[in-house]
A and B are shown apart, each in its own frame.
Chain A
């Protein structure tokens, strides 16, 4: 097969092909592997959003944040409170009926509140870098989780460890995404409808990230990462620019959290532990810090790989040894760990680093 020579045309052709692939993906996957795999892909899209948000803070601005999942939690709980009967049950005197806010109101609100929390975390940590910042952000993430776990008394705001359930699915153009429905003669299952909804928002997040990266602000973030003192001497207001990175990164986390709550129908503090923060950080680092395409790849791989391993481990053992020797569930984590170690050993800049970052690491290697 020969490709048209014009690179512009080729790029456009590539975009069209990827677009078609993304459009038919849930139907192909759903028909061949079942809807549970479409659901896994939906979650992978949420992780792409989270990783891209964290990439602004860690990848662009170079601020190591180990509590990022807190913003996801804030978005999720805000959505849960505004789309479930919990508030009406807990405070019947104040709320006569369950709030039924439009998703187009709740998501931006979740983004805004998460962004405010981002600034709240950023303000006291402005002078910290590296390990010290990591410890403080880690503490922040835990504080949020512990608050969610304990805010069922004296006022039952979060329903504590039991979490909030009965969360309404997002409703778009009068159609709830929580049930399957028919569109143009096609049966659309709930997971597929969510897929398109998440995909649209993921594309929006990617678009925003790319635009920011190629702007005065994106340059300022990288400048702070590279040399904060020189950045200040260049006239960059490092305080504001860092707070902006924290705030914007948190915003994406808040949106992803809201989507998660609506998709899952249930939130509890368990979903927002330290391991989740580390998982998202792994996606950023493994994919290639500061490189948008790399981060997307990292997020997709780390979200899908464990599921593939879980799915494939038992049949492969059956075929190799005639019986299942190791429980697939424990093997999954083992293989996952080995994969991470191998990647860090052979591709320290990430699987798909940006061109300049690769050169930078090479330069460091020359010096050492």
Chain B
């Protein structure tokens, strides 16, 4: 397997996974997956159902520890299996099945997202020290800013579960952005969206790229991925079968096989 990390300048690399494997009982969910995400790009990860996309995603964000391999992020090894430290290192994520804090308002959801960047402890909170008060005010202001950024600030005081599906997706992105990530990882953000909502999502991701954020996008919507991503990797049965710009990946024979199946062997027929 070629190592693209060797061909590009080291500073340009934000994340590199090398030889990541993960097994669940008899199922090899990931087999020796290596890939490199460069700063400022939108990187797509696609594959048929059960290809290991979400498993890889969970290894990356610390929900699973890999059996083998390691992940370097921003020049440092990621601690495997410690989600809050990975969030602190600068990877924020959204979930395939939206996971908001249902009983909280949209604003509070985003404020929770900022938790890792805040310092107030028990004593500060009880005494409401000037530092704690300033931090709290700044957090609220920043949360409003992010809600405005994703376009739902008018819903700030609505309960999260009462938002429409598309707005919940946006809220989840705002919450992820609140932790000031260097890499925003979106797990099937367009799942269940109609064409208008997908269009809005695309605009939002383009805006994020325009503002210099690196985005990892796992998606079923091949059209969205091909139209949006700078580079795409394809997983099949836990293995990376291709990694390149969308136009090359689209014509890659193994990708076509993975998605459409192999042409029947004429001699066997």
Contact = CB atoms under 8 A, between A and B. Distances in A.
Given A215-B120, A231-B112, A236 B84 contact: yes
- Which residue, of A207, A215, A357, has the highest number of chain B Cβ atoms within 10 A? A215
- Which residue, of A217, A218, A223, A359, has the highest number of chain B Cβ atoms within 10 A? A223
A226 B112 CA distance: 12
Contacts of A357: 103
B162 A226 contact: no
B269 to A, nearest CB: 49
B159 A356 contact: yes
A229 B99 contact: yes
Main secondary structure of the interface of B (DSSP, over half): helix
B102 interface: yes
A297 interface: no
Interface in B105-121: 105, 108, 111-113, 115-118, 120-121
B102 A360 contact: yes
B84 A232 contact: yes
B103 A208 contact: no
A356 B125 contact: no
A158 B137 CA distance: 50
A356 B105 contact: yes
A227 interface: yes
Contacts of B111: 219
A208 B108 CA distance: 20
Interface size class of B (residues with CB under 8 A): 35 or more
B148 to A, nearest CB: 20
B115 A235 contact: yes
A360 B101 CA distance: 11
B132 interface: yes
Contacts of A232: 62-63, 83-84, 87
A367 to B, nearest CB: 9
B144 interface: no
A363 interface: yes
Nearest to A219: B112
A218 B136 CA distance: 12
B61 interface: yes
Interface of A: 207-208, 211-212, 215-220, 222-223, 225-227, 229-238, 244, 248, 356-357, 359-360, 363
Cβ-closest 3 pairs across A and B: A235-B116, A235-B87, A215-B125
Interface of B: 61-63, 83-84, 87-88, 92-93, 95, 99-105, 108, 111-113, 115-118, 120-122, 124-128, 132, 135-136, 139, 159, 161-162, 175, 179
Given A218-B125, A244-B122, A356-B103, 19 more contacts: A208-B126, A215-B120, A216-B118, A216-B136, A216-B139, A226-B103, A227-B99, A229-B95, A230-B95, A232-B62, A233-B83, A234-B115, A236-B112, A238-B84, A248-B122, A356-B159, A357-B103, A360-B159, A360-B161
